[in-house]
Amino acid sequence: MDASRSDVLILGGGVIGLASAYYLLKSGATVRVLEQGTPGSGSSHGNCGTITPSHAAPLAMPGMLGVALRSMFRADAPLYLNPRPDLERLRWLLGFARRCNWRDFEHAARARSAILERSRGLLETLVRSEGLDCEFVQPGELYVYRTARQLASDERHHAAVLDRLGVEVRRMRGDEVEAAEPALKPGVAGGLFHPGDAQLRPDRYVTELARRVREMGGVIETGARIDQFGMTDGRVSHVRTTRGVFKGERVVMALGAWSPLLGKMLDLRIPMQPGKGYSLTYTRPTLVPKHALVLREAAVCVTTWGSGYRLGSTMEFSGYAEGLNRTRLDALRRGAATSLHEPEGHELLEEWWGWRPMSVDEVPIIGHSTRWSNLTFATAHGMLGVSMSAATGELVASLVLGKTPSIDPAPYAPARFQL
């Protein structure tokens, strides 16, 4: 028996790769996960950990291209487009611009909503049934507005979309928001409350997923950087890594923001860009929010756990430029300070950055390759990898093992990009 061969070889040990491994193992497949670092060391680690059916609407809408272009002159803008010339980023931006219309907006919102809603239910079941110690709670998420203008805009382009999709959103007056959230400073214009949203501690969720994958018989190869693919007769025959050569009857690409780079080795042009996000993790302040918050004008997400407190968000398109951008971190601090009595915790525990895998149409890429017969994609989840993880894992397992999916896989199919 070839010890290096598995039924399914998963490339990437982030939240999507591990969720896929879990559901495949649950269905009886043998699984090996190849991870260049340690499980969850990428964008799974430092995000805000919110589980958000409320985030169905994509960024791309009429007028957004102008916002992105103007951001080039503001390094601290919530959405920042680095002006440095980059052919791949320009190609992506042109594709994004073509989708800034209401028809594509509605299509993306419906596709995102279907997988977000399915995943929300699965995640709760997964956490409870498997006893995952990840601080999962369901207080809902509250969008907070300090200007009537931003509130009116979001009521048209956010709340109205959720109404059409059947996702509950409650409109709140400013005084109601302040009464519900004593952590907020006075001067709130209003709020949008999303009772179906939940939250967890993402680094612990990924650690617990990795534990269960190993307990169920899955193998996770850490420090396994992919160096080369072998291709034979339209199949991926093997994967060469720094830990050795591995084979799988099926290969799942769950490489997140690294997918376009590795895709080139397979002669695939995956229309994605890394969207850089940042977060600051603290010990808990004395006065903490009762809900996960989105401070809309500043575009800052605030999450409180029993074990800590995090400020996060921002979207920076700077290609694969590594490292912390102090301007972006300072913007998080300033944004939180505009709305919160205690915007920062007593002790700063971590300053973090990570790349989110942003597809050009803001819909994940999940399904069989049209180019390589045994390759399946599970990537391009943007800012919603944790939120979409359980439903993606379930869908991957169904597609790989030839079962009937619980949601329609067509909107996520790689065939739309000829992959």
3-state SS record for 234-291: CEEEEEEECCEEEEEEEEEECCHHHHHHHHHHHCCCCCEEEEEEEEEEECCCCCCCCC
Q: Could you tell me the end-to-end alpha-carbon distance of the chain, in angstroms, rounded to an integer?
A: 32
- Rg of the chain's alpha carbons, rounded to an integer? 21
What pairs with residue 251 in β-bridges?
Answer: 9, 375
Residues in the chain: 419
Q: Which of 41, 53, 52 is nearest to 15 (CA)?
A: 41
Residue 83's pLDDT is what?
Answer: 77
Residue 90's pLDDT is what?
Answer: 86
Residue 71's pLDDT is what?
Answer: 66
Q: Residue 64's domain spans which residues?
A: 5-417
3-state SS record for 217-231: CCEEECCCCEEEEEE
Residue 75's pLDDT is what?
Answer: 67
CATH number at 31 reads 3.50.50.60
Question: For the segment 253-303, what is each residue's pLDDT rounded down to a tens digit?
Answer: 999 999 999 999 999 999 999 999 999 999 999 999 999 999 999 999 999
Measured distance CA(171)–CA(185) in Å, rounded: 19
Question: For the segment 12-37, what is each residue's pLDDT rounded down to a tens digit?
Answer: 999 999 999 999 999 999 999 999 98
Name every residue whose Cβ is closer than 8 Å to that of residue 266 and which is 6 or more positions away in sequence. 229, 231, 236, 371, 372, 375
Measured distance CA(197)–CA(141) in Å, rounded: 6
Residue 1's pLDDT is what?
Answer: 41
pLDDT over 90, % of the chain: 83
Average pLDDT over residues 50-75: 82
Question: For the segment 161-192, what is each residue's pLDDT rounded down to a tens digit?
Answer: 999 999 999 999 999 999 999 999 999 999 99
Q: At 359, is the secondary structure helix, strand, or coil? A: strand
Q: Which residue has the tokens 């990537």?
A: 379
Question: For the segment 376-416, what is each residue's pLDDT rounded down to a tens digit?
Answer: 999 999 999 999 999 999 999 999 999 999 999 999 999 99
Higher pLDDT, 61 or 226: 226
Q: Are 346 and 285 in contact (CB under 8 A)?
A: yes
Buried b / exposed e along 282-306 (16+ C-beta atoms within 10 A): bebbeebbebbbbbbbbbbbbbbbe
Domain count, the chain: 1
Q: Best-predicted range by mean pLDDT among 313-317, 330-334, 368-372? A: 368-372
